[in-house]
Structure 1
Amino acid sequence: MASAHIDTFARDRLPPVAMQPEFLFELPELQFPERLNCGAELLDRAIARGWGDRLCVRGAGLRWTYADLLAHANRIAHVLVGDMGLVPGNRVLLRAPNTPMLAACWFAVMKAGGIAVATMPLLRAKELVAIIDKGQVSHALCDLRLADELQAAARACPVLRQVRCFNDPSPQGLEAAMAARPATFDNIDTAADDTCILAFTSGTTGVPKATMHFHRDVMAICACWPGHVLRPSADDVFIGSPPMAFTFGLGGLLLFPMAVGASTVLLEKASPAQLLEGIRDYGATVLFTAPTSYRTLAAHGDAIRASTLRRCVSAGEALPAATRALWKQATGIELIDGIGATELLHIFISADESRARPGATGTAVPGYRARVVDAEGRPVPPGTVGRLAVQGPTGCRYLDDARQAQYVQNGWNLTGDAYLMDEGGYFHYQSRTDDMIVSAGYNIAAPEVEEALLQHPAVAECGVIGVPDEERGQIVKAFVVLRPGHAEGPEMARTLQEFVKQTVAPYKYPRAVAFASSLPRTETGKLQRFRLGQADAAGIAGAGTDPREATPSTDRKVAP
């Protein structure tokens, strides 16, 4: 179908059709028209349905109806096009904590035919540079409070030529430009298969991958899991912890509530204590967060029981059976578990409360198929551990990346997770099949942490792995060989931890540090991370000669 994109960067870099997964549109609600703009479908259509006066989004000191959000989005779309020179197909970086203004900016990009590139607030300039370069991002809308790292990145990225900040009272701020623009906007008539999102995910090598999603993909995830598993109503109030830069957060805290006329609460900071406060203050009924937060919140079971909360969704990392039982005992609420992936945009295996089974993620969400396969891609019998393979209306399309051939094989998406399926069709998580560290719902690549550590003058060499942790699923552990003249111990461990926090996003820092005289390597010099893992599992601090453990108390403040 004819693209509306004048800037054809994204379409020109789609994987060849033969390397894309097989897409399924078997449900009636997945029969999309050829022309589709998800921003118009979710926001403008809400007004047409008579929802204009309904409460839509709340944040710190803000309370917007659907009509308010539409007016803000339309004015921002005018600024993007009229003041910043956006043409359909341009990439727009979005940088902010979860706020109503971030939601308005996201919809403005959709309506103007741009491609949203949402980034996590914790990212540093180094990480932003990689994203801007990969996506050839030309425009940015940024919360002024987070502008420093973006400005540092922009100096290294001449392609980023237009930046506007909001929460900026100056004449150059986005709000000043919006004030001069009308509250109506003629939406770009995008094709259903025009790219509207570049969602970045860490690779196991530390090199980011950009996943490409279409307007129809956004509407597909609104049609599958929410309607068949979550089943929200227009009276629900959504709240949660994942940043909207995570597709888990984008769907759960913006798209899904708006698809049914519900409202959402966007918290700039969402620690368990802040979630508890938000649930109480806003009367939240649906919660999205990771198992780590549920374990902490369970200590406040009486407060949860006395609240309006009725549905709780866990994703981002595997949900232990013990955490499910703890939450049910403390609150009386059965958790809705689910697994999704940035490559598939949202949850594709899950189970509602009535079908939940301890230790099982769930079954394939209507609209999706899932199976467990061996190394050659052949289905394995029930009870056999293998690789999880998925098909559905969404799937992996990496932007100009050879790793497409690893993720998509024989028309199936291979998620990098090891699962077994029981006789009843329930999928049980076993482990990752790659070297990705999954900690409290965040994906962390070991080589990226190693690179950050190696920039410190005291570090001669290092190796990083994920080790089991009761609260976070895994934590990052670093094995460090120091240069001569530098003393080992808790003080040095803390120094290295703080250094990593300042170099890359703070959630990637090693929560455990062990010192060693050498690291296990092959004859060709390749680091053997599996031997570090074996040594840690055996209770040995390091895998080199004379290892010495030095793990100061962990800093929970950077956790989600």
Structure 2
Amino acid sequence: MYPGTYARSHPDRIAVTMAGSDDRLTYAQLDERSARLARVFHDEGLRPGDVVALLTDNSVRAYEVYWAAARSGLYLTAVNSHLTAAEAAYIVDNSGARALVASAALGGLARQVREQTPSVRLHLSYGGPVDGYRNYDAALAEVSAEPLADQPRGADMLYSSGTTGRPKGIRPALPDHQVDEAEVQLTTVLRRMYGVGEDTVYLSTAPLYHAAPLRWGAAVHALGGTVVVMERFDAEAALAAVERHRVTHGQWVPTMFIRMLRLPAEVRTRYDLSSLRVAVHAAAPCPVEVKRAVIDWWGPVVYEYYASTEGCGMTFIDTPQWLERPGSVGRAVVGVPRVCDEEGREVPAGRVGTIYFERDAMPFEYHGDPEKTREAQHPDHPAWSTTGDVGYVDDDGYLYLTDRRSFMIISGGVNIYPQETENLLALHPAVADIAVIGVPHPEMGEEVKAVVQPAAAARPGPELERELIDYVRARIATYKAPRSVDFVDELPRTPTGKLAKGPLMERYRHP
């Protein structure tokens, strides 16, 4: 299914609307505009397997671009709009994008990315002019609204940072069917697990460059529902959106739960949330006490899933199941979990190990990085893949996570890999040795901390702390920068010189 199905049966139904501005698209408009954009791409020479990069704020236009790529056999690479120009340009260039569509709200970044990616042949901007970009609406007006005769289904190719800090493109195989034929796997899961259908009103609370908001919104379109997109998350505004739009389904991260729970009681009880049938959370571990509080407030409508951008597998758990097994992320609905020891041998139920998911075939490859792709595969079972998470499965098949990918920091649902920040600070003249770790934070889950062994001539203290933080913020995305710096006489290292980060992290988690 795709928007054209509902454009024919319910042309005036709202496909997507912004929670704040009320900018909206009906299914007829989404179908026509995405068909026009698909033709623009085709006329510019883009063919199945080519890549379109998208640099956007939260906007209804994002779904026009998504569906234009999806109905053209193209890959869509959504770029994190909080990256620096160099970081964003790396993704655009590495993906091999032949077209770049950008929001004028990000005009400064869009101009810099264009200058650094000369291989891109088509530049379009919406919402206003951007130097070097063609006007998006004018480009659509110049072509026919008739859909292309051939509409092979495309896919997204999103980027997930590696432990070295360089983002890696996750490139799935293109489906072998037309866009209006067989449903994609996520669509099937949403329909069966969460009851998503034509009466669904789905609240999207996070940036659309993230995998879950982008994919889930598209899956709701494939099932004929309405997507309500928040321009940015605000705790009270989210509750107001549920009431105003009669939201039936919403997706959250634990940090959002915490912020809503911290609202004054009179604010939390001001809004009618009775329409809410499904509140899904994922992206980061949710403290047990926080989840219990949300269940007490919203009722048994809280669902959790565990998955990854790579699409290795997916688990699911509802409220009654979770109350019986607090802390579990559920049983598998995509793939078969296999927990293995360090030698790759499968371990029995209850034993902790690396979590793999068995699929019929390897579901993805890291674009241009066959070594990293091999590292994600089980050495003896090429169809088993992992993102390096650690946990165990109980006797009933419920999965529990006991750790995360080595040293990764999850702050507010965003994955941060410390190596990139460590590499930057290692070059600073005031730093003799450096470790960047995640430390507990009551709202964000974790925050970034740098633990620094200062150089002999350096004077540790608040001034140097500010200097180091500013040094990082000026060079990479600010969310990767440390929020605090501790100074120590010496960092723990093994006799071979390897940083013993595990004991250091344990020290901050259990001081």
Q: 1:385 to 1:304 in 2, by over 3 A?
A: farther
Summarize the alignment of residues 287-326 of structure 1 with structure 2, pairs less than 5 Å apart: 287-300=250-263, 301-303=268-270, 306=273, 308-326=275-293
Paired position in structure 2 for 1:157: 117
Q: Distance in 1 between matches of 2:70 and 2:292?
A: 41
Q: TM-score, normalised by structure 1?
A: 0.81
Paired position in structure 1 for 2:223: 260
CA displacement, residues 159-214 of structure 1 (integer Å, 9 cap, x when unaligned): 22322211125893212222222322215443x6xx63211101112121111124
Paired position in structure 2 for 1:536: 508
Q: Distance in 2 between matches of 1:521 and 1:515?
A: 16
Q: Distance in 2 between matches of 1:494 and 1:286?
A: 42
Paired position in structure 1 for 2:63: 103
Give the aligned CA root-mean-square deviation in angstroms: 2.6
CA displacement, residues 318-376 of structure 1 (integer Å, 9 cap, x when unaligned): 2222121011122224420111101107x7101233433321111111x4322322223
1:520 partner letter: P
Q: 1:482 to 1:375 in 2, by over 3 A?
A: closer
Q: 1:225 aligns with which of 189, 200, 203?
A: 189
Q: 1:294 to 1:79 in 2, by over 3 A?
A: same
Paired position in structure 1 for 2:148: 186
Q: Distance in 1 between matches of 2:460 and 2:430?
A: 10
Q: Distance in 2 between matches of 1:440 and 1:116?
A: 25
Instruction: Return the offset for 1:133.
Output: 3.2
Instruction: Return the offset for 1:487.
Output: 4.6
Paired position in structure 2 for 1:407: 376
Of all paired residues, the percent bearing the same amino acid is 28
Paired position in structure 2 for 1:447: 419
Greater Cα offset, 110-119 or 478-487: 478-487
8 Å Cα contact 1:396/1:413 also seen in 2: no
Q: 2:33 aligns with which of 72, 82, 98?
A: 72
Q: Tell me if 1:177 matches 2:139.
A: yes
Paired position in structure 2 for 1:497: 469
1:448 partner letter: E
1:237 partner letter: V
Instruction: Return the offset for 1:315.
Output: 0.5
Summarize the alignment of residues 179-258 of structure 1 with structure 2, pairs less than 5 Å apart: 179-186=141-148, 188-190=150-152, 196-216=155-175, 219-252=183-216, 254-258=217-221
Instruction: Return the offset for 1:267.
Output: 1.9
SS in structure 2 opposite 1:185?
coil
SS in structure 1 opposite 2:368?
coil
Instruction: Return the offset for 1:67.
Output: 0.6
Q: Distance in 1 between matches of 2:453 and 2:477?
A: 23
SS in structure 2 opposite 1:270?
coil
Q: Tell me if 1:51 matches 2:15.
A: no
1:352 partner letter: D
Q: 1:398 aligns with which of 363, 366, 388?
A: 366
Q: Tell me if 1:348 matches 2:348.
A: no
Q: 1:395 to 1:274 in 2, by over 3 A?
A: farther
Q: Distance in 2 between matches of 1:522 and 1:451?
A: 19
Instruction: Return the offset for 1:511.
Output: 2.4
Q: Distance in 1 between matches of 2:300 and 2:47?
A: 47
CA displacement, residues 135-166 of structure 1 (integer Å, 9 cap, x when unaligned): 12222000012132233233333222322211
Summarize the alignment of residues 355-504 of structure 1 with structure 2, pairs less than 5 Å apart: 355-356=321-322, 357-365=325-333, 367-392=334-359, 395-401=363-369, 402-409=371-378, 410=381, 411-454=383-426, 458-482=430-454, 487-504=459-476
Task: Between the two structures, name the one with larger relative contact order (CA 8 Å, sep ≥ 6).
Answer: 1
SS in structure 2 opposite 1:132?
helix
Instruction: Return the offset for 1:469.
Output: 3.1
8 Å Cα contact 1:164/1:174 also seen in 2: yes
Paired position in structure 2 for 1:551: none
Q: 1:47 to 1:538 in 2, by over 3 A?
A: closer
2:24 partner letter: R
Q: Where does structure 1 lack aligned partners over 5 or more consecutive residues?
A: 1-40, 540-560
Q: 1:62 aligns with which of 8, 23, 27?
A: 23
8 Å Cα contact 1:240/1:270 also seen in 2: no
Q: Distance in 2 between matches of 1:61 and 1:502?
A: 35
Summarize the alignment of residues 325-340 of structure 1 with structure 2, pairs less than 5 Å apart: 325-340=292-307
Q: TM-score, normalised by structure 2?
A: 0.88
Q: 1:81 to 1:233 in 2, by over 3 A?
A: closer
Q: 1:273 to 1:456 in 2, by over 3 A?
A: farther
CA displacement, residues 224-276 of structure 1 (integer Å, 9 cap, x when unaligned): 42123211232221113232322211222x12211221100122212334323
8 Å Cα contact 2:162/2:417 also seen in 1: yes
Q: 1:233 to 1:491 in 2, by over 3 A?
A: farther
SS in structure 2 opposite 1:216?
coil
Instruction: Return the offset for 1:66.
Output: 0.6
Q: How many residues align?
A: 491
Q: Distance in 1 between matches of 2:189 and 2:402?
A: 23
Q: 1:449 to 1:293 in 2, by over 3 A?
A: same
8 Å Cα contact 1:238/1:285 also seen in 2: yes
1:350 partner letter: F
Instruction: Return the offset for 1:460.
Output: 4.9
